[in-house]
């Protein structure tokens, strides 16, 4: 080992002291879960979609919901706030994110609302819960499952956890951009959100992605979140859902402005799609 580059202990201590005196950067002060909720999630929109679609397909109002891969459980919290009759079960296997959700989201609930929410630390492939009207698995988290037989097992389990007219809500994306590396930047209030598709395996469809956050003081929170997903197609997912016992799986595809091609916040039930570079949608599966 060479000692030529080693700093003498006093100089090292001085430098450390100087660094400690520097004000922390915005990245050091940032809370990655808060940034995630702000940049990735839109629970109000997603719950509106669940409410409207459930009513349209079943003729009644949904009340019990299970949120798989719930993370900070913001969607479950907003669900129990929506109606006095609503109940929610949030499932995630990571105690750190569940703890954050308890502290920052669940804590805002009134006692009666808290009683209607349960957070379960468990693997969605193992958990058993009471039957519910709605199961939502959002932000493509079920794409963690890389093998068809595991996806089938997951769908079977969700099928069993639904009441007779219950509905499983999944999100889905497609288009040529899924199958390539790329970066997408979005400016938000006080920070930039960067979505990076860092590696794509064209044989296995495995996609490695990261979320980074950049701040006005030039500091960065790199790889705040990383995921390895398999890019699944809507058609093959529908086939697996059918095998798992779902009688119908409707694709709701994002609408595009016919003149500007801009993606809109409207979703229509259709099997028609052009060769969009990127489209978002939901798969709504009924037993
Ligand atoms: C991308 S976050 C999704 C958060 C939220 N559902 C959303 O829509 O943004 C993925 C979460 O899934 C959890 N997760 C991944 N695999 C899981 C599994 N097999 N069982 C339970 N939770 C899992 C992770 O701990 C993480 O909190």
Report the DSSP beta bridge partners of residue 174.
279
State the Cα–Cα distance between residues 168 and 165, nearest whole angstrom: 10
What atom of ligand 1 comes closest to residue 94's alpha carbon? 25
State the Cα–Cα distance between residues 256 and 277, nearest whole angstrom: 12
Mean pLDDT, rounded, for 175-190: 94
What residues does ligand 1 touch, defined as CB less than 6 Å away? 40-41, 69-71, 91-94, 97, 123-125, 138-139, 141, 144
CA dihedral 225, 230, 236, 242 (to 10 degrees): -60
Please state, for a pLDDT cut of 70, what percent of the chain lies above it: 97
Mean pLDDT, rounded, for 248-255: 96
User: How do the residues of the chain divide into helix, strand and coil, expressed in percent and rounded to 5?
Assistant: 35, 35, 30
pTM of the predicted structure, to 2 decimals: 0.92
Q: Express each pLDDT in 9-20 by its tens digit.
A: 778 888 777 777
What pLDDT score was predicted for residue 62? 98
Mean pLDDT, rounded, for 130-145: 97
Asked whether residue 165 carries a pLDDT value surpassing 80, the answer given is: yes
Domains and their CATH numbers in the chain: 35-174+232-286 (3.40.50.150), 177-229 (no CATH)
Cα of 84 vs centre of ligand 1, distance in Å, is 27
Helix axes 74-82, 43-58, angle to 10 degrees: 60
Q: Which residue has the higher pLDDT, 121 or 8?
A: 121
CA dihedral 22, 27, 29, 34 (to 10 degrees): 170
Q: Which residue has the higher pLDDT, 83 or 258?
A: 83
Cα of 231 vs centre of ligand 1, distance in Å, is 16
What atom of ligand 1 comes closest to residue 40's alpha carbon? 9
Q: Report residue 2's pLDDT band, with 50, 70 and 90 as the boundaries.
A: very low
What pLDDT score was predicted for residue 117? 98
Mean pLDDT, rounded, for 27-50: 96
Q: Report residue 1's pLDDT band, with 50, 70 and 90 as the boundaries.
A: very low
Q: Report residue 3's pLDDT band, with 50, 70 and 90 as the boundaries.
A: very low
Measured from the Cβ of residue 214, the count of other Cβ atoms closer than 10 Å reads 18
Mutate to test the pocket of ligand 1, among 33, 46, 92, 209 (most ligand atoms within 8 A of CB): 92
């Amino acid at each position: 080992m060479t000692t030529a580059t080693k700093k003498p202990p006093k100089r090292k201590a001085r430098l450390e002291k100087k660094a400690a005196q520097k004000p922390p950067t915005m990245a050091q002060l940032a809370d990655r879960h808060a940034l995630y909720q702000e940049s990735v999630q839109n629970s109000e929109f997603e719950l509106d979609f669940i409410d409207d679609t459930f009513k349209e397909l079943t003729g009644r109002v949904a009340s019990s919901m299970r949120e798989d891969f719930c993370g900070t459980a913001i969607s479950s919290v907003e669900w129990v706030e929506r109606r006095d009759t609503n109940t929610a079960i949030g499932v995630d296997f990571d105690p750190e994110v569940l703890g954050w959700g308890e502290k920052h989201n669940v804590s805002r609930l009134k006692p009666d609302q808290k009683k209607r929410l349960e957070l379960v630390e468990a693997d969605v492939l193992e958990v058993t819960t009471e039957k519910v009207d709605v199961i939502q698995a959002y932000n493509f988290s079920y794409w963690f499952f890389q093998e068809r037989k595991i996806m089938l097992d997951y769908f079977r389990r969700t099928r069993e956890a639904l009441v007779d007219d219950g509905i499983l809500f999944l999100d889905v994306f497609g288009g040529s951009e899924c199958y390539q590396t790329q970066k997408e930047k979005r400016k938000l209030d006080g920070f930039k959100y960067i979505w990076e598709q860092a590696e794509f395996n064209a044989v296995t469809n495995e996609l490695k992605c990261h979320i980074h956050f950049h701040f006005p003081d030039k500091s960065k929170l790199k790889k705040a979140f990383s995921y390895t997903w398999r890019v699944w197609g809507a058609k093959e997912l529908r086939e697996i859902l059918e095998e798992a016992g779902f009688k119908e799986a409707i694709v709701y595809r994002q609408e595009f402005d016919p003149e500007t091609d801009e993606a809109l916040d409207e979703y229509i039930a259709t099997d028609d799609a052009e060769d969009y570079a990127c489209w978002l949608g939901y798969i709504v599966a009924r037993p």
